[in-house]
Amino acid sequence: MAKSESSYKGKIGSQKALAVLLSGLEGFKGPKVRVEQYSTDPEIAAEVLWNVYMKGDMVKVSVDLGCGTGILGIGLLVLGADKVYFVDSDQKVIGIARENLAKLNSEYNIDGEAVFICQDIGDFNEPVDLVVQNPPFGTKVRHIDKIFLKKAFEIGKIVYSFHKSGTKKFVESFSKDNGFEITDIFDFKWSLKATMKHHTRKIKRIDVSCFRMEKR
């Protein structure tokens, strides 16, 4: 059941305010092509996270798998999450995520616990209530998106995961095979800004969906 506004315990009172806050976070510095280090759009992140909150999906323990600079996990903490794991194999971006949280913590006095772990997501085995993730789409390393989904299904009860919209049939089939069911799909026009040397256009728009999956 979704929480009412009167029970709201976070630091931000609207989706729009959350988007503004997230837009002030530092992004990737020298993003790595192979692992597709693209920043999550703040407005898209805010819309998904606001749905997480309104559906009552922030229970006790969450994880941001492949957290990058921490936008999803930090958003959860701002909205009142009790504990969030930030997991990424890149020490540099873990450092940026720490700095981003420290900056917001000085302004909003965030109550939830943040645990930063620099390791491959395959080695993370803590059971959690909620998984949020924006994994690589698998355009550089084939099936890496499948690896992220598999791990999410192993450790979580509710999963929010971003994928190219064209992979819907795969996500649906893989979810069922692992005992999960897609309950909601949020569709977006994802703007990939020219942040890497091989980019020839300033902005490329692709169809991306965030799938909410729940353990059956």
* Residue 33, domain member (yes or no): no
Domain interval for residue 69:
38-215
| pTM score of the predicted model | 0.88
The CA distance from 68 to 23, in Å, is: 15
Number of folded domains that form the chain: 1
What pLDDT is stored for residue 93 in this prediction?
A: 93
Contact in structure between 81 and 111 (CB atoms under 8 Å): no
- The answer to whether residue 24 is domain-embedded is no
Q: From CA 130, how far away is CA 60, in angstroms rounded?
A: 8
Q: What is the pLDDT along the chain (216 residues), one digit of tens a residue?
A: 344 333 345 668 899 999 999 999 998 565 555 545 577 899 999 999 999 999 999 889 999 999 999 999 999 999 999 999 999 999 999 999 999 999 998 888 899 999 999 999 999 999 999 999 999 875 555 778 999 999 999 999 999 999 999 999 999 999 999 999 999 999 999 876 554 454 455 567 889 999 999 999
Does residue 57 fall inside a structural domain? yes
Answer whether 134's CB lies under 8 Å from 146's CB: no
Instruction: Flag whether 100 is in a domain.
Output: yes
The answer to whether position 18 is within a domain reads no
CATH value at residue 44? 3.40.50.150
154 belongs to a structural domain: yes
Among 10, 182, 187, residue whose Cα is nearest residue 84: 10
